[in-house]
Amino acid sequence: MRHLLAVVLYTALGLGANAGAAADIAGLRDGSMLKLAVHETPLEVPATSFTDAEGRAYGFADWKGKVVLVNFWATWCAPCRKELPALDALNRDLGGEDFEVVTIATGRNPQPAITRLFEEVGVKTLPVYLDPKLQLSREMGVLGLPVSILLNREGQEVARMSGDAEWDSESARAIVAALVAEKG
């Protein structure tokens, strides 16, 4: 697995050396990643805040300088439940100084239900953020769940996917690695 990850990262670093590599991520899509819509021009995101389980407010600006995969989900959403372990694996393996998965529970999601779901599906590294009144979700155009949005280091939306995906696949890892390789 480490050898495969090294090959994927090396390939992505090579792609990242090209100007406009964000557009090149479209060529890295395979399998469920084919659903990922890559924007020609990065889109600004709203400054609307969301909270953690303790009620502290956050905004996407808190992750500026990192590539971020934002995932909108809910405890009652079957595709979300299926996707969470793959998001957790991606965050466990690639998360750190340059990349992070940020999961935002959308709508009414009681903390005990979130804790129980994470335990049932084996999630260990994903953060718990909340958008209980759906304000951020509405402003981000989240019409169904799950929705995943890739943000570049400047905090702009570069790609979006509706529906679940295999975020621990070679294709997903190559896409993340290519975006991380872009130093701005």
- pLDDT tens per residue across span 143-158: 999 999 999 999 999 9
Angle at the Cα of 153 from the Cα atoms of 68 and 183, rounded to 5 degrees: 125
The answer as to whether 122 is a domain residue is yes
Burial class (CB in 10 A: 0-12, 13-18, 19+), 122: exposed
- Average pLDDT on 75-95 reads 98
The answer as to whether 51 is a domain residue is yes
Q: How many domains does the chain have?
A: 1
Q: Which tokens in the block code for residue 74?
A: 């809910």
The answer as to whether 12 is a domain residue is no
The answer as to whether 143 is a domain residue is yes
The answer as to whether 26 is a domain residue is no
- Quote the pLDDT of residue 145: 98
- Average pLDDT on 44-64 reads 97
Taking Cα atoms as reference points, which of 181, 176, 184, 183 lies closest to residue 69? Answer: 176
Domain range enclosing 119: 35-165
**Confidence band (pLDDT; 50, 70, 90) for 5?**
very low
Taking Cα atoms as reference points, which of 86, 60, 62, 61 lies closest to residue 73? Answer: 86
Give me the CATH number covering residue 76: 3.40.30.10
pLDDT tens figures, 89-100: 999 999 999 999
pLDDT tens figures, 155-171: 999 999 999 999 999 99
The answer as to whether 88 is a domain residue is yes
Q: What value does the mean pLDDT of the chain take?
A: 90
Q: Say what the pTM is.
A: 0.88
The answer as to whether 184 is a domain residue is no
Q: Is 59 in a helix, a strand, or coil?
A: coil
The answer as to whether 181 is a domain residue is no
